Chain A
Amino acid sequence: EDKVVQSPLSLVVHEGDTVTLNCSYEVTNFRSLLWYKQEKKAPTFLFMLTSSGIEKKSGRLSSILDKKELSSILNITATQTGDSAIYLCAAYGAGSYQLTFGKGTKLSVIP
């Protein structure tokens, strides 16, 4: 059974801190890994990673995939209160277009 595990499950930081969220996966014929941000409503797409070692960046957020370690990290620099959300990691396996989701990391950024 495919599995995606995120850590930590929750994290509290102060504004301006840098955070690293972790995601590991056990997915048969893994194809790609995705990060989403979920605030009060449904998840919004952040990154999709297919190749190992290539960093994807969007503003203060960046992410990288390590296929050797079967893992990915999501970095957020200079955190702001607006970054407070649940960050979800999900993976596609080959031959399947269904996503396997992790339980998420709840990030709280306090002023």
Chain B
Amino acid sequence: GAVVSQHPSWVICKSGTSVKIECRSLDFQATTMFWYRQFPKQSLMLMATSNEGSKATYEQGVEKDKFLINHASLTLSTLTVTSAHPEDSSFYICSALQGDQGNQPQHFGDGTRLSIL
């Protein structure tokens, strides 16, 4: 149980395009999902917390107009990297919280490797 699917797993695109990444909880409902970014040999950096039916909460230094988050249902959150540039190239990972806040682990998707040319 507690499977999180993230799609696509790998994207290469030209500078200036927008890229949408989907995160789905397959066998549970997730009121809260999280988006992380991971640079090579670094730990996970939380970008934003996504709550179903409300606006996402962004961490300090993360541009909300650049990284659009939509959590329209209890099983789907999307992250759109708008007008992507080479510095946006990174590994993006989502997670979903199963159960009550903090009483259950976050379960992670397999990540999306984004490369902007």
Listed in ascending order, the chain A residues whose CB lies under 8 Å from chain B are 31-32, 34, 36, 41-45, 48, 88, 92, 94, 96-99, 101-104
Q: A41-B111, A42-B6, A42-B111 are in contact. Are A34 and B43 (CB under 8 A)?
A: no
Name the B residues within 8 Å of A101 (CB-CB): 43-44
The answer to whether B105 and A97 have CB atoms under 8 Å apart is no
The answer to whether B106 and A99 have CB atoms under 8 Å apart is yes
Listed in ascending order, the chain B residues whose CB lies under 8 Å from chain A are 2, 6, 9, 32, 34, 42-44, 46, 49, 93, 95, 97, 101-111
Closest to A41 in B: B110
C-alpha gap A43/B102 in the complex (Å): 17
C-alpha gap A108/B6 in the complex (Å): 27
The answer to whether A97 and B110 have CB atoms under 8 Å apart is no
C-alpha gap A42/B34 in the complex (Å): 13
The answer to whether B43 and A102 have CB atoms under 8 Å apart is yes
Name the A residues within 8 Å of B97 (CB-CB): 97
Name the 10 nearest CB pairs between A and B, nearest first: A97-B101, A42-B108, A42-B111, A41-B110, A92-B102, A42-B93, A103-B43, A45-B105, A101-B43, A97-B102
Name the B residues within 8 Å of A44 (CB-CB): 108
C-alpha gap A45/B2 in the complex (Å): 10
Q: A41-B111, A42-B93, A101-B44 are in contact. Are A94 and B105 (CB under 8 A)?
A: no
The answer to whether B44 and A98 have CB atoms under 8 Å apart is no
